[in-house]
């Protein structure tokens, strides 16, 4: 019941919010926030309980089902979590609540906004707990609808273009996943959509079918990550989306791609993975370097952060290509969590300055450090975290990835990817320098106010966690180790 509640509570919340009076803005805001606190607390309790009681084995925990849902198609209601989904649930619960808090500034069609946001949260939670392919696909797709509306109604000037591009692009990926799912279903005997059962079916399929399924799944998940060259929807969606939606997009939605690879296509098709891992590593390295270079050229602050996501998720892809190393895979999981925290915070902070200045152009600012010192402090801290400063979570994850990948992958390739760290430092530091240092334009920015308490509250947990994981990463590693070792042994089949 506990996992179902993660999905059901936001869904019920959406219905409750829909029946609130349209013009009681504060009632709607607080109701949605309180509703989203429930799954956050539940996901934290799950993390706590899993860490202390269940993380010793790779067995699925809190399993619900499998119950028959549509028996004639062998579709089941089957939920469960293990070491790779628990951190994602934690991240989803936390970022959803923080984003709702950051959405209090929305004044236009408030009721619809919060209703769609809760639907989005239900879908995200569902993806991380579903163990039946059909159920997984339903949750995966259901999120597209609220995202489409959230970008399209509350977005920036090119919102309509960005919304439909996001919708079509992701749907395009999903159809490949659907074909792969159907192929797996009909080649398994007895026909099954149960991911746990199909884990053993995958390696027994013919090599051609394995390759086909692996590639189809890869396209679907790579679009979500997004892996270069499937990344073009990301900058558009990020730039046009309202702040809170950007946070969710970067913090949770991108992780679904890498999570799904680890959960589905990597352990199910180990032979195809072996054949293709070199090419996946190349895609990862291209994403790292390309994303960093493009970030350097950006004039728009939000676009810079968006492209830095492409670069950072590239590390995840490279780590995933080094599938034989527990360290690399653990680094990938670390990077997913840490990128969710850091980039989520960066988008929140970009939103803070945009709300005040109504521009995100880096060149328009300068010398803000003296005018808004608290904001500057927080922003600089997260920029440092993003460029991988030791002591914060980004450093730990990148270090683990490099250590793991260096042993498992082509060393030249890994060597090239290390350049990404330098490039990352370049664009982050240049951004900090141009916005916060230098000459202050009194006439233009004299009226700028510092970050307020609500906004501080919404980034503070992220800051605490970034430092905590960076200084003492052991709990997170221990939480995942058993599951990851099992995964690596499955991928070595």
Partner 1 sequence: MEFKLPDYNLWLMLPELFLFVWALLVFTFDLVTKRKKESAVGYSALLGLLLTGLILALVWTGVLVPGKANGYGSGFGNMFYNDAMALFFKIIFLGAAFMAIGSSFGITRQKIVNHRGEFYGLILLSTVGMMFLSSSNELLSLYIGLELTTIPLFVLAAFFKDNKLSVEAGMKYFVIGAFSSALLLYGLSFLYGLSGTTEIVQMKINLGLVHATIRDIGVILIMGVVMMVAGIGFKLALPPFHQWAPDVYEGSPTPIAAFLSVGSKAAGLVAFAKIFVNGLIVFYDPLQAPNDWGTLVGVIAVLAMVIGNVVAIRQSNIKRMLAYSSIAQAGYIMIGMVSLNEHGLASVGYYIFAYMFANMGAFAAVAIFEDKTGSCQIESYRGLAKSSPFLSVTLAVFLLSLAGIPPLAGFLAKYKVFAAAISMATADADYSWLYWLVGVGLLTAVFSLFYYANVIKQMFFSTEDSPYKIKFALPSLVVLLMGLVGVFWFGIFPEPVLDLASDISAAFGFLPR
Nearer to partner 1, 120 or 423 (CB): 120
Q: Closest Cα to residue 137, out of 83, 193, 178?
A: 178
- Least distance from partner 1 to the Cβ atom of residue 361, Å: 24
For residues 261 and 257, give the distance between their C-alpha atoms in angstroms, rounded to a whole number: 6
Specify burial of residue 153 (Cβ count, 10 A radius: 0-12, 13-18, 19+): middle
Shortest CA distance to 234 belongs to which of 216, 248, 254? Answer: 254
Helices (H) and strands (E) in the chain, counts: 23, 2
Q: Which is nearer to partner 1, 149 or 406 (CB)?
A: 149
Pick between residue 220 and residue 292 the one whose CB is nearest to partner 1: 220
Asked if the bond preceding 485 is cis, omega within 30° of 0, the reply is no
CA nearest to 240, candidates 294, 300, 299: 300
Nearer to partner 1, 160 or 355 (CB): 160
The whole-angstrom separation of Cα 12 and Cα 14 is 5
Q: How far apart are CA 311 and CA 453, in angstroms?
A: 32
Least CB distance to partner 1 at residue 46 (A): 25
Least distance from partner 1 to the Cβ atom of residue 72, Å: 5
Binding site for partner 1 (CB under 8 A): 70-73, 109, 134, 137-138, 141-142, 144-145, 148-149, 152-153, 159-160, 163-164, 167-168, 171-172, 175, 178-179, 182-183, 185-187
Using CA atoms, how far apart are residues 376 and 378, in angstroms rounded to an integer? Answer: 6
Unique residue bearing structure tokens 């050229």: 297
**C-beta separation of 129 from 3 below 8 A:** yes
Q: Which is nearer to partner 1, 72 or 449 (CB)?
A: 72
Residue 103 CB, nearest approach to partner 1 (Å): 18
Considering beta carbons, is residue 216 or 266 the nearer one to partner 1? Answer: 216
User: Of the two residues 122 and 484, which places its CB atom closer to partner 1 in the complex?
Assistant: 122
**Phi/psi of residue 74, each to 5°?**
55, 35
Q: How far apart are CA 301 and CA 304, in angstroms?
A: 5
Rg for the chain (alpha carbons), in Å?
22
Bridge partners (DSSP) of residue 76 are 68
| DSSP classification of residue 108 | S
Cβ 343 vs Cβ 386: under 8 Å: yes
Kindly state the smallest distance separating residue 290's Cβ from partner 1, in Å. 26
| Min separation Cβ 338 and partner 1, Å | 32
CB of 358 to partner 1, least distance (A): 17
What's the min distance (Å) between Cβ of 237 and partner 1? 15
Residue with smaller CB distance to partner 1, 75 or 469: 75
């Amino acid at each position: 019941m506990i996992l179902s509640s993660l999905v059901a509570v936001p869904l019920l919340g959406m219905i409750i919010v829909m029946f609130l009076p349209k013009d009681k803005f504060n009632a709607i805001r607080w109701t949605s926030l309180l509703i989203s606190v429930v799954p956050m607390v539940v996901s934290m309790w799950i993390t706590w309980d899993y860490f202390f009681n269940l993380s010793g084995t790779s067995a699925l925990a809190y399993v619900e089902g499998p119950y028959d849902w549509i028996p004639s198609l062998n579709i089941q209601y089957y939920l469960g979590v293990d070491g790779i989904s628990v951190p994602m649930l934690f991240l989803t619960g936390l970022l959803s609540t923080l984003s709702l808090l950051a959405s209090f500034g929305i004044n236009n069609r408030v009721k619809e906004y919060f209703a769609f946001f809760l639907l989005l949260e239900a879908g995200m939670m569902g993806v991380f707990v579903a163990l039946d392919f059909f159920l997984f696909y339903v949750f995966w797709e259901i999120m597209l609808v609220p995202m489409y509306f959230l970008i399209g109604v509350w977005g920036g000037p090119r919102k309509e273009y960005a919304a439909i591009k996001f919708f079509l692009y992701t749907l395009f990926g999903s159809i490949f996943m659907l074909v792969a799912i159907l192929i797996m279903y009909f080649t398994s005997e007895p026909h099954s959509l149960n991911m746990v059962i199909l884990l053993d079916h995958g390696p027994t399929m013919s090599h051609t079918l394995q390759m086909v399924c692996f590639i189809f799944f890869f396209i679907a998940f790579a679009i979500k990550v997004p892996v270069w060259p499937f990344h073009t929807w990301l900058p558009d969606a990020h730039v046009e989306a309202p702040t809170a939606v950007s946070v969710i997009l970067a913090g949770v939605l991108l992780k679904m791609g890498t999570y799904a690879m680890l959960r589905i296509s990597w352990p199910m098709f180990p032979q195809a993975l072996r054949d293709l891992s070199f090419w996946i590593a190349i895609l990862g390295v291209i994403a790292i370097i390309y994303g960093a270079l493009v970030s350097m050229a950006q004039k728009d602050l939000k676009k810079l952060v968006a492209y830095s996501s492409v670069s950072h998720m590239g590390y995840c892809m490279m780590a995933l290509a080094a599938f034989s190393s527990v360290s690399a895979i653990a680094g990938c999981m670390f990077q997913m969590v840490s990128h969710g925290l850091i980039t989520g915070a960066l988008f929140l902070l970009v939103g803070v300055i945009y709300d005040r200045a109504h521009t995100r152009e880096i060149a328009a600012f300068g010398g803000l450090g003296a005018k808004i010192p608290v904001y500057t402090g927080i922003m600089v801290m997260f920029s440092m975290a993003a460029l991988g400063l030791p002591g914060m979570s980004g450093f730990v994850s990148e270090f683990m990835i490099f250590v793991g990948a260096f042993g498992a992958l082509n060393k030249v390739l890994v060597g090239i990817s290390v350049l990404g760290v330098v490039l990352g430092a370049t664009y982050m530091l240049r951004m900090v320098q141009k916005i916060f240092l230098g000459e202050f334009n009194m006439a233009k920015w004299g009226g700028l106010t510092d970050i307020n308490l609500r906004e501080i509250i919404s980034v503070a947990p992220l800051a605490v966690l970034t430092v905590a994981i960076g200084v003492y990463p052991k709990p997170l590693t221990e939480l995942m180790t058993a599951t990851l070792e099992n995964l690596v042994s499955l991928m070595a089949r």
